[in-house]
Amino acid sequence: MRNWAPLSLRSYFNLITPGLFKIPDLLDNYKMQIDLSLRTLHEWQELLKNSSSANWMQTWAYAQASLKKDFIPSRMATVNDDQNQVIALFAFQRIKLGPFQYVRINRGPLWLHRKPTEDDLLNFAKALRQHFPKSFFSRIKWLAEFEPTPQGYEKLSELQFQLTTQKFETSWVNLKIPQDQLRKKLRQKWRNSLNKFEKSDVVIRVDSSLDHLDPFLNFYELYKKQKNYKGPTRDFLRIELANAFRQKEATLFWALQDGLPIAGLAIHHHGKNVSYRASFNSEQGKITNAHYGLIWKVITHYQTLGFERFDLGGLLPDEADGLTHFKMGLNGEYQKSPILIG
């Protein structure tokens, strides 16, 4: 299926002469508005519980890491319908330097109580464009949690949003499915590897102590250098996960053999979802298939706590082919999200 739309003549002039044409009315009978009213951290956390797509990039902890490590401030916003009811939320990053303005939305908006339609996406794009008008000095980078149809891309181009060559991929595990059915859904090789782990003497420990975050990140940094793959920096994760721990939204999972760590996994949970954020492994971890045991423990642990979806934290087939293959073995729901520039 084609995942791009050619520029129409009108779209071309919109691109080179922003503001020359008025924003098209996509659905005149249904309006959305962006509300930047200040909300407390507790209010934001409660809103996240009502979205099935809640992810780590839309959390307060991630916003704190972006501010303190990358010096990029974030704002929390809601999307209201024509009855002024909150129907979605999104965090965005905004940089202003004199007349120049750059806005970035990572994996949003998050729709509340429902699965979004393409009309929802297009109406949000219209509200976004009205709130941040296109100009020579203003740009938006938007990683949307929705993949439009070719017709949808055509309408987005009329709103002066153009598809880039970049994309974000991930996979979700549905934690509402009973464990026996989830196990049957696993790809055969993955299930066999889990069976092998369960016959080993490796013990999985669930750890909610912030005091153990730095040792975990030391293992993570060493493993990342050994594998030579890109990923979140140690410093960024330190800020994000430390803030998540303080809000009781992070957990470490350790694989121990003879009391020593041979593999580990860091989880950031938010709303009713959980996200895979970082991991490390060792030669002994590979021999015992410790990572299979860690992932399965994450699934069963959060199922018990009533969480609903497990975001496997992104797929990087070009940079981390082995890790991507491992995650795909869970046979979850594949998601590809476009990155738009406007």
CATH class of segment(s) 171-335: alpha beta
Contacts of residue 225, Cβ cutoff 8 Å, sequence gap at least 6: none
**pLDDT over 90 percentage in the chain:** 74
| C-alpha–C-alpha distance, residues 339 and 144, integer Å | 7
Q: Does 22 have pLDDT greater than 50?
A: no
The per-residue pLDDT of the chain, averaged, comes to 89
> Residue 17 above 80 pLDDT?
no
| CA-closest candidate to residue 233, choices 242, 221, 248 | 221
Instruction: Return the closest-CA partner of residue 168 out of 336, 322, 342.
Output: 336
- The whole-number pLDDT of residue 153 equals 93
Report the alpha-carbon distance of residue 54 to residue 214 in Å, rounded.
26
Residue 30: per-residue pLDDT: 54
The pLDDT of residue 9 is above 80: no
Query: What number of other Cβ atoms are within 10 A of residue 207's Cβ?
Result: 16
pLDDT given for residue 298 in this prediction: 98
Q: What residue ranges do the domains of the chain occupy?
A: 9-160, 171-335
Same fold for the pair 9-160 and 171-335: yes
Q: Which pLDDT band holds residue 1 (cuts at 50, 70, 90)?
A: very low
pLDDT at residue 194 is higher than 60: yes
Name 319's Cβ contacts closer than 8 Å, sequence gap at least 6: 229, 230
State how far Cα 294 lies from the chain centre. Answer: 21
Q: Give the three-state DSSP class for 271.
A: coil
CB 90 within 8 A of CB 105: yes
The residue-averaged pLDDT of 48-59 equals 95
Mean pLDDT of 303-321: 87
More confident residue, 225 or 321: 225
pLDDT the model gives residue 227:
86
Residues 255-300: tens digit of each pLDDT: 999 999 999 999 999 999 999 999 999 999 999 999 999 999 999 9
Task: Quote the CA–CA distance of 103 and 95 in Å, as a whole number.
Answer: 7
d(CA 183, CA 190): 10
Contact criterion met (CB below 8 Å) for 53 and 145: yes
> What predicted TM-score, i.e. pTM, was given to this entire model?
0.87
Per-residue pLDDT, 309: 97
Mean pLDDT of 7-19: 35
For residues 130-137, average pLDDT: 89
Tell me the average pLDDT across 75-94. Answer: 93
Instruction: Note the pLDDT tens digit of each residue in 216-249.
Output: 999 999 999 998 887 899 999 999 999 999 999 9
Which CA distances in Å does 18 have to 10, 138, 190? Answer: 11, 10, 51
Averaged pLDDT, 321-332: 87
The mean pLDDT value for 93-120 works out to: 92
Distance CA 335, CA 315 (A): 10
For position 274, what pLDDT does the model report? Answer: 98
pLDDT band at 4 (very low <50, low <70, confident <90, very high): very low
Mean pLDDT of 41-59: 95
Angle value at C-alpha 34, between 82 and 164, nearest 5 degrees: 120
- Which CATH number among 3.90.350, 3.40.630, 3.40.50, 3.30.1300 corresponds to the domain 9-160? 3.40.630
pLDDT, mean of residues 334-341 = 92
Residue where the block lists tokens 């021999």: 287
Can you tell me the mean pLDDT for 322-333?
88
Contact 289, 200 (CB under 8 A): yes
Secondary structure letter of residue 56 according to DSSP: G
